[in-house]
Amino acid sequence: MSNVAVVGAQWGDEGKGKIVDWLAARADVVVRFQGGHNAGHTLVVGDQTYKLSLLPSGVVRGQLSIIGNGVVVDPWALLSEIEQVQAQGVAITPDQLLLSDSAVLILPLHQRLDGLRESQRGDRKIGTTGRGIGPAYEDKAGRRAVRVCDLTDDAVLAQKVGELVAHHNAYLRGVGAEEEDADALLAKLQAVAPLILPYAGRSWARLDDIRKRGRRILFEGAQAAMLDIDHGTYPYVTSSNTVAGQAATGAGIGPTAIGYVLGIAKAYTTRVGTGPFPTELDDEIGQTLGERGAEFGTVTGRKRRCGWFDAVMVRQAIRVGGISGVALTKMDVLDGLESIRICVGYSLHGEKLDYFPANPAAQAAVKPVYETVDGWAESTRGARSWAELPANAVKFIRRIEELIDAPVAMVSTSPEREDTILVHDPFAD
């Protein structure tokens, strides 16, 4: 049986939480492999709604859940999330949750730096969540980060905190901000260490054992391909690789362990924050999509920008991310529209493009070339088979498949876990 990686194929917020939850019921282990608590998944299980940021989606169903080395972890945010989920009746113990001992920690200093840098950019803000993710990844690349394993040794921890604070205080002095107190930060980390360390361990070794025993592994990504630091709309991207190739690196397992890559895409497009968005709608239809789709960020609560489905962008995400098939979500949001537009190409200063350019100026300047298809009056909400879908909805899906050059493996017709049409089982390959 195949191990499955789930990644976003647009700009995030595609409904990965529900799909991961659906797949997690068939998996033995769920692994988060990148990002931090800047990404949110909303799971609806019966009459309970869970909002997760760091915890892998498998925790709500009792599967072993692993936070991989590729994730940057705010220990206080993690403990808060554990408490929140436990208050909803879900038991989380070190037997069920494993935190990689080589994961980098997000510190309060990183959040300060994040906010200061955003404020200094003025009109050129990236639109970060302000949670310190970017500065934490910078420290990781700069080889000065504090990692989970450092919490086990006070001498090592004190040395690393001192060096880290000395590095960043130079910047803080330069912008006239209050300098960081190394002793105060060290005390905070020493206080949180005994609460975090029971969950810590060699996640790579545990995964290797699980793989050898033939157990099913689900790799859970955050954000999406067009927010990838290499392949996205740079610089309006996140600070990590979000494509499926990162699942192996960020979990500590070989790439051959990943069999099927499931890309998640909405039947339309949304984006949070700043950055180019060719199919964005600043009209009544865009407002309607946002209202019907409840398009507000799980983590930030920010209103999402809405637009038509961009087949060019999704096709590119499929190619760079090695996506095997797509789960198409929020079909029901399009119900009742007389006609629906699909972006099938771009126009840049009169030139036709069949790809999303890398140059930021070109990304901002491209104009969508649309194809219009008939909508459907009937409701798709709650459909669980092809037979329950209106004929025009099926035609829409088939046209999407042609344009993105990949099959639709699943269709989601509501936030409810069971309201899913399974075309192809990702775990069956």
- Any idea which residues carry the catalytic annotation? 13, 41
* Contact predicate 419/413, CB 8 Å: yes
Q: What type of residue is 148?
A: V
Instruction: Enter the tokens of residue 33.
Output: 């492999």
Residue 315 has phi, psi (to 5 degrees) of -60, -40
Instruction: Enter the tokens of residue 93.
Output: 């113990």
| DSSP conformation class of 411 | E
H or E element, residue 325: strand 325-329
Over the range 241-252, which residues count as b (16 or more CB within 10 Å of their CB) and which as e? bbbbbbbbbbbb
Strand residue runs (E) in 325-386 = 325-329, 339-348, 351-353, 367-374
Instruction: Enter the tokens of residue 144.
Output: 């000065």
CA pair distance 243, 5, nearest whole angstrom: 9
* Contact predicate 73/99, CB 8 Å: yes
Residue 347 has phi, psi (to 5 degrees) of -120, 125
Instruction: Enter the tokens of residue 206.
Output: 């545990």
| DSSP conformation class of 342 | E
Selection from 138, 145, 153 nearest residue 200 by Cα: 153
Q: What type of residue is 337?
A: L
Q: Please confirm whether the linkage preceding 235 is cis (ω < 30° from 0).
A: yes
CA pair distance 252, 204, nearest whole angstrom: 5
Calculate the CA dihedral of residues 223, 224, 228, 234 and round it to 10 degrees. Answer: -90
CA pair distance 117, 108, nearest whole angstrom: 15
Q: What type of residue is 191?
A: A
- Pairing relationship of beta strands 420-422 and 408-412 according to DSSP bridges: antiparallel
CA-to-CA dists, residue 290 to 114, 175, 240, 295, 422, angstroms: 28, 39, 27, 5, 26
Question: Where do we find the tokens 């970060």?
Answer: 128
